[in-house]
Chains A and B, each alone.
Chain A
Amino acid sequence: GAVVSQHPSRVICKSGTSVKIECRSLDFQATTMFWYRQFPKQSLMLMATSNEGSKATYEQGVEKDKFLINHASLTLSTLTVTSAHPEDSSFYICSASRDATNEKLFFGSGTQLSVL
């Protein structure tokens, strides 16, 4: 099956620093990648949709300057949490679709971000 690799799996950073999370589709070209945020014991909230070569589309309430998304190739999308604060601590998950219908998404294993 298709594999999506997300790195790092866990990161601890100081308040005010920036953190980059990578999402790679290892054995397919991802037309679209998605970034989600998951608070403890809650569901996944879609943050943004990332298309290769174009600007990401952010969901309402998500600060685009805070959560920078770059989709430089068909196999890599990155999420950078800029000037991180403790309230940004969360579990971030990416997913990728390999066809235009997005009928099946492949999820990364997630990144636990802790901001001190």
Chain B
Amino acid sequence: AQSVTQPDIHITVSEGASLELRCNYSYGATPYLFWYVQSPGQGLQLLLKYFSGDTLVQGIKGFEAEFKRSQSSFNLRKPSVHWSDAAEYFCAVGTSGTYKYIFGTGTRLKVLA
């Protein structure tokens, strides 16, 4: 069965510092992988997605993620965090032709000034 694990519930970084949010998935075939960001009381905004091809994916707001099949991981990174990046981040896995995205439990990012 598909599953997504985000090991870190909370992460706190200083503004300007680098960031890496971890995501591990379990899926038999090549999955479609996503990172979404959610601000308080809001819906989700897609940061980036991976379907195939280059394993390093660039997204919006300066985020990137790298698909590592050998590690079943899809970690999200940003070289320099801004205070506006404080939010909840969700990793999700899906497959083409199905309607179900499995979401991780989320990582709450706090940014210190």
Q: Which residues of A contact B (CB under 8 A)?
A: 4, 6, 9, 32, 34, 41-44, 46, 49, 57, 91, 93, 95, 97, 101-105, 107-110, 112
Chain B residues positioned under 8 Å from A93 (CB to CB) = 43-44
Report how many residues on chain B are interfacial, defined by Cβ distance under 8 Å.
23
A42 to B38, CA, bound (A): 12
Are A103 and B49 within 8 A (Cβ)?
A: yes
Partner of B105, one of A34, A42, A104: A42
| A4 and B41 in contact, given A43-B90, A49-B99, A101-B97 (Cβ under 8 angstroms) | no
B74: interface (CB < 8 Å): no
Q: What is the count of residue pairs linking A and B with beta-carbon distances less than 8 angstroms?
A: 55
Those of B27-76 within 8 Å (CB) of chain A = 32, 36, 41-46, 49, 51
Are B42 and A43 within 8 A (Cβ)?
A: no
Chain A residues positioned under 8 Å from B96 (CB to CB) = 101-103
Are A107 and B45 within 8 A (Cβ)?
A: yes
Partner of B43, one of A97, A103, A104, A107: A107
A43 to B103, CA, bound (A): 6
Chain A residues positioned under 8 Å from B108 (CB to CB) = 41
Distance in Å: Cβ of B15 to nearest Cβ of chain A:
24
Please give me the residue from chain B that is nearest to A51 by CB atom.
B99
Point out which of A44, A103, A107, A109 has the most chain B C-beta atoms below 10 A from its C-beta. Answer: A44
